[in-house]
A = this chain, B = another copy of it.
């Protein structure tokens, strides 16, 4: 027997995925894969994110070593965010994942509709 199942879904792995695949991280990583960005460039590129959430996302990604933060002490201060080599290695797994969603989203939307219809029917109660 092997411990693969345990290892694969161990707390540290789950926690890592939570930190890197959360609501805004993919969008940020995607931007920074294209080019280095300043804080407000990222805000403009991802209009729905609030300043607070963007800051939190950037700190988390920085802490995990997938992006880095360079403070340029001009006046006023400029901050440049960049993807790190480690961050670049994320591209492939993320691409595979997004390829899956792109490919199967239609089937999933059909499944949802069917489920919701069954569910509506079961609330009404089936006929004799």
Contacts and interface: CB of A to CB of B under 8 A. Distances in A.
A65 B107 contact: yes
Interface string A12-32: 111011100101001100100
B23 A64 contact: no
The complex is assembled from copies of this chain, and their number is 2
Contacts of A7: 102
Interface in A44-92: 62-66, 86, 89-90, 92
A101 interface: yes
Contacts of A111: 63-65, 86
A109 to B, nearest CB: 8
A119 to B, nearest CB: 8
A123 interface: no
Interface of A: 5, 7-9, 12-14, 16-18, 21, 23, 26-27, 30, 34, 62-66, 86, 89-90, 92-93, 96-102, 104-105, 107-112, 114-116
